[in-house]
Amino acid sequence: MLDLAVVMPVYNEEDCIVTVIDSWLFVLAGLNIKFKILVINDGSKDGTDKRLKVFSNNEQVVVINKNNSGHGPTILIGYKQAVQIASWVFQCDSDNEIDAKYFSCLWQKRESFDALFGIRKDRKQNISRKIISCFAHMTVSCLFGNRISDVNIPYRLMRAVILQQIIAHIPDDAFAPNVIISGMFSRSQTRIYEHDVICEGRKTGVVSVVKWKLWHSAFKSFWQILSCCKNNQQNTVNSG
């Protein structure tokens, strides 16, 4: 069993993906732990798949190429594999908006907690994304409790045995599974820690969900959150 499995969904990040993975390899190697980085390529249309071949001989990087299904379903695919091979699961995005250097702050505190979340500071969003982020936070707070500040943060370290319980009740097509997972952790008796991280903004690539698609996806996510809340009212998540 590994100490850590990192879940990194990727879509059209040819300009930065090698740099991002190298930065994580450097940080994780410095912690002297057994780990693997699961890089799930969600049907990228650029040269991402070619760039990822750089890691074909690196046993600590597992590249999974799949047809495009969206960010949320891709994360879930990674989670379902990660909980089988490691004691802890960490999820991060591949766009380099949050530096790998903050991870050690979470890892060093893990034994006292079950889930450790970043809180994005200096985050730059357009008005639509700000509204949706606020709405997501209010939804989780009302349905599950107000224990997590940044409910959709793509910088989260979770105890695998607890995450496995949670994702068993999330639909495979969930648009924002991290929001639902935050809700489940918030409602449970698990021990939660939060740590500020600087969100530097996207420097390469483009955002894949824009304009009307963003609002459509937000409403889809809202109904999925309501459904999960209703279907899992009787389920409890046990602290590790």
pLDDT at 239 over 90: no
- Name the residue with higher pLDDT: 26 or 218: 26
167 contacts: CB under 8 Å, gap ≥ 6? 76, 79, 80, 83, 177, 181
Torsion of CA 154, 160, 161, 167, to 10 degrees: 40
- Name the residue with higher pLDDT: 137 or 152: 152
Of 48-52, 134-138, 145-149, 208-212, the range with the lowest mean pLDDT is 208-212
pLDDT at 181 over 50: yes
Residue type, 222: F
Distance CA 18, CA 219 (A): 34
What are the structural domains, with CATH classification, of the chain? 2-231 (3.90.550.10)
- Name the residue with higher pLDDT: 72 or 138: 72
Average pLDDT over residues 113-131: 78
Average pLDDT over residues 16-29: 97
pLDDT at 210 over 50: no
Q: Characterize 176-197 residue by residue with b for buried, 16 or more Cβ atoms within 10 angstroms of its Cβ, and e for exposed.
A: bbbbbbbbbbbbbebebebeeb
Of 69-78, 208-217, 222-231, the range with the lowest mean pLDDT is 208-217
Determine the pLDDT at residue 211: 52
Determine the pLDDT at residue 226: 62
pLDDT at 55 over 90: yes
- Segment 58-116, tens digit of pLDDT: 999 999 999 999 999 999 999 999 999 999 999 999 998 999 999 999 999 999 999 99
Determine the pLDDT at residue 126: 57
Instruction: Report the mean per-residue pLDDT for the chain.
Output: 86
